[in-house]
A = this chain, B = another copy of it.
Amino acid sequence: MTTRWLTPKEQRAWRAYVAATSLVEDAIDRQLQQDAGMPHLYYSVLAMLSEAPERRLRMTDLAEVLKITRSRLTYAVARLEKDGMVRREACQYDKRGSLAILTDEGMATLERAAPGHVDTVRASLFDQLSEEQVEQLEAICSEIARGLQGDERAAADEVPWRRRASQPSVSGCT
């Protein structure tokens, strides 16, 4: 199998993709760092927690949602905890487990940062795209994500104290 090189069309798409995604992440990170003193990932941690029931999530679940490694999350939460945005609690049903809990201060920070963040997301992405393209983008990204994670999910929702629920907090903190 002598390697199926990318077609010119694919090449262009790939390069555009790499450029665009890198630019977008930079823009988002910069804004968040400026206005909230934390990088995108850290903001996402707060955002996810804010939507979780009781504003708490187990480390593994959080890592799963955010699509990052446990290790990375550990460090992120450690920093957020030091800054008072998050609190930790041992999971009483599984003594190995550890819960990350959004504090009021974390919630406040999130609410303060959300508007600017949304603006940036808009400016970076949605302002440039037609409604149709937004739909296409969603479809494309969903495909890709699905392909990259075999969908070994579907589990969870099994044990009661691990149920996934939703109770949005900051409307669309993204």
Contacts and interface: CB of A to CB of B under 8 A. Distances in A.
Nearest to A116: B3
A108 to B, nearest CB: 16
A137 B135 CA distance: 11
Interface stretch (A14-22, A85-93, A96-104, A151-159): A14-22
A171 interface: yes
B138 A124 contact: no
Contact of A125 (B17, B137, B149, B174): B17
Chain A contact residues: helix, strand, loop or mixed: helix
Copies of the polypeptide in the assembly: 2
Contacts of A119: 3
A24 to B, nearest CB: 6
Contact of A128 (B4, B25, B128, B146): B146
B140 A19 contact: no
Interface in A3-19: 3-6, 9-19
A75 interface: no
A24 B22 CA distance: 12
Interface of A: 3-6, 9-27, 44, 67-68, 114-115, 118-119, 121-129, 131, 133-149, 171-172, 174
9 contacts: A4-B118, A6-B126, A12-B138, A14-B174, A16-B145, A20-B141, A20-B142, A24-B144, A137-B140
